[in-house]
């Protein structure tokens, strides 16, 4: 089949969504399809919010199948449209509801009319799809609650899944993420003040908060205990996963989160928070990881528990590895392209 994968992109920003789209293209090509990736820029602020959806509406896409991945690419019109939804415009939905700082929607009539119209547009565009998949239970639940639409969660292997491997359980917890507000990097820094040596934290990844978090570490006198290497090459990252005691991933209401799955491929337990969203699709407290209350003290207690009981860490990590044993891109491709 000739398949066009559609995705939105914020210029100069590269994250999980872009990786996801490229991995999907690769998986479809491996399955023998001819595939192209079409991206259009997106703006998130209210004043320009509807421009990109309208542009997608007018883009002529000649293909046997289109697979739209994120807001607003699912506004593309095609008689054979499948949506694999990574996220909607969260600032108009859950971010708005939670009063998140990254949402510019306020409790006034202008914002509510914009939000209402976006809801109507989303329902119209998503209802055209032959099938709507989501990438997690959290995204499906949001779609059901905000738009009244059903969807089927469809999980996929994370990047590096083919090279990640278990290793020794070392003396550090690993965090792999962009250092941004919704990932709550300060939480781990504050928690480490309550974790005795020799346990360390390695926080891999860049992001707009990186310098601020580095200053936080310095100011808290945790320089020898918390490392912030910034960007880490893939090969080094694989070894960091392999040697960790556990992986800490405490985002706020995450859509999917590759870190959790990468940790499981490396046989490591994941410590998350009770409000970490889709991470909780995978992390079951005491089974594949530990779910803390989202406070620095609670997170520190979870880290200490695993540091004091490496056998527990191994058991949870092994269960996590078993949990992702059936994930495959071949299955994803088969379901997305099924007639």
Partner 1 sequence: MTAPVRLAVHVGRDVPDGLTAVLSALPPDVQPVAASAREALPEGTVAHLYCSDALPRRPATPYAVWRVPGADVGDLGDVPALADAGARHVRPGDLQVSLRAWPDSARPVLPFTRAGLRRVRDLPARLVGEARSDGVSWGAPGEHPAEAPLDTWPTLAALASAVIATGEELWTALAWAAPAVTDAAGARLLGLTPDVDVLVGADPVTRARLAAELADDDLRAARLARSGWQTARSHRPAGVAAELCRRLGVRPAPRSTVSGLTAALDALGTPPHSLVRRRARAATAGLPGAVTSGWRPDREEHS
Asked whether position 127 contacts partner 1 by CB under 8 A, the answer is: yes
ω before 198 within 30° of 0 (cis)? yes
For residues 313 and 262, is the Cβ–Cβ distance under 8 A? no
Strands 65-70 and 226-230: unpaired
- 73 secondary structure, DSSP code: G
Asked whether position 152 contacts partner 1 by CB under 8 A, the answer is: no
Minimum distance between the CB of residue 113 and partner 1, rounded to whole angstroms? 8
At residue 71, the 3 state secondary structure works out as coil
Asked whether position 47 contacts partner 1 by CB under 8 A, the answer is: yes
Asked whether position 146 contacts partner 1 by CB under 8 A, the answer is: yes
Q: Considering only CA atoms, which of 284, 45, 52, 255 is closest in space to residue 142?
A: 255
Comparison of 140 and 177: residue with beta carbon closer to partner 1: 140
From the number of C-beta atoms within 10 Å of its C-beta (0-12, 13-18, 19+), residue 77 rates as middle
Minimum distance between the CB of residue 91 and partner 1, rounded to whole angstroms? 14
Minimum distance between the CB of residue 8 and partner 1, rounded to whole angstroms? 17
Comparison of 13 and 106: residue with beta carbon closer to partner 1: 106
Comparison of 150 and 236: residue with beta carbon closer to partner 1: 150
Minimum distance between the CB of residue 104 and partner 1, rounded to whole angstroms? 14
Asked whether position 97 contacts partner 1 by CB under 8 A, the answer is: yes
Show Cβ contacts of residue 291 under 8 Å, excluding neighbours closer than 6 positions: 271, 272, 273, 274, 276, 280, 283, 284, 285
Alpha carbon distance 222, 195 (integer Å)? 11
Minimum distance between the CB of residue 173 and partner 1, rounded to whole angstroms? 36
Size of the site for partner 1 (CB under 8 A): 33
Residue selected from 147, 179, 260, 288 as contacting partner 1 according to rule CB under 8 A: 147
Binding site for partner 1 (CB under 8 A): 47-48, 50-51, 54, 57-58, 60, 77, 93, 97, 107-109, 112, 115-117, 119-121, 123-125, 127, 141, 144-150
């Amino acid at each position: 089949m000739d398949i066009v994968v559609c995705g939105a992109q914020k210029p100069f920003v590269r994250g999980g969504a872009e990786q996801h789209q490229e991995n999907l293209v690769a998986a479809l090509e491996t399955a023998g399809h001819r595939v192209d990736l079409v991206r259009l820029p997106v703006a998130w602020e209210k004043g320009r919010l509807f421009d990109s959806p309208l542009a997608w509406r007018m883009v002529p896409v000649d293909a046997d199948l289109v697979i739209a991945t994120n807001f607003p690419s699912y506004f593309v019109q095609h008689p054979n449209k499948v949506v694999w939804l990574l996220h909607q415009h969260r600032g108009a939905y859950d971010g708005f509801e939670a009063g998140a700082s990254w949402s510019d929607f306020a409790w006034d009539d202008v914002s509510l009319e914009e939000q209402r119209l976006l809801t109507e547009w989303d329902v119209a565009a998503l209802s055209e799809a032959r099938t709507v998949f989501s990438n997690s239970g959290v995204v499906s639940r949001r779609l059901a609650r905000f738009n009244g639409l059903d969807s089927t969660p469809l999980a996929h292997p994370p990047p590096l899944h083919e090279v990640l491997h278990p290793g020794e359980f070392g003396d550090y917890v690993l965090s792999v993420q962009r250092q941004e507000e919704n990932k709550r990097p300060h939480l781990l820094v504050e928690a480490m003040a309550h974790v005795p040596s020799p346990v360390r934290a390695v926080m891999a990844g860049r992001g707009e908060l990186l310098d601020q978090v580095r200053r936080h570490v310095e100011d808290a006198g945790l320089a020898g205990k918390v490392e912030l290497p910034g960007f880490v090459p893939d090969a080094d990252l694989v070894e960091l996963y392999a040697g960790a005691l556990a992986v800490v991933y405490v985002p706020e209401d995450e859509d999917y989160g590759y870190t959790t799955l990468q940790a499981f491929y490396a046989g490591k337990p994941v410590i998350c928070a009770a409000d970490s969203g889709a991470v909780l699709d995978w992390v079951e407290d005491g089974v594949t990881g530990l779910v803390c209350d989202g406070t620095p003290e609670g997170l520190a207690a979870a880290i200490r528990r695993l540091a004091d009981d490496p056998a527990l860490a191994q058991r949870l990590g092994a269960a996590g590895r078993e949990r992702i044993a059936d994930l495959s891109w071949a299955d994803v491709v088969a379901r997305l392209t099924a007639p």
